Amino acid sequence: MSREFIEKWYKSIPKMERDLPIILIDGKVYTPNEVYEEVMKGTELGEIMQSKLERMSSLHSMTYEDLREIRHIAYERVKRILEDLPKDFSIVSLSGKIAKGKDEIFKAIGKSAIEYEMKRVIRLIRGR
């Protein structure tokens, strides 16, 4: 394992996504910023994070458990994105239905947003 891997991976993450969850370790989600910090400090947690990211970055190395974790990470990402929306934010569907507030918006777009974020997390892990 080398720090160069994490440095290259970290630089491939758009700045606006560096505070969104990317990896799950022992039931806790971590952001790219947290991963980078732990690896650069040389902590045991950083080594675990880097090892997992290196394994998952390979095209054929994802396990069923990895995909379950990615679904959880995607859910956490959607929650954080919705938390950052302005209080009066709303969306309108093509049928004219208006969803206001985080709960209604999540109900309206949650499933598709989580599916999108799962794909996004996989691309980010793989540095693409």
Give pLDDT tens digits for 91-125. Answer: 888 888 899 988 889 888 889 999 999 999 999 99
Question: Which candidate, 38, 35, 20, places its Cα nearest to that of 81?
Answer: 20
Pairing of strands 23-25, 28-30: antiparallel
pLDDT tens sequence across 106-115: 888 889 999 9
Q: What does the domain layout of the chain look like in residue ranges? A: 3-125
pTM over 0.95: no
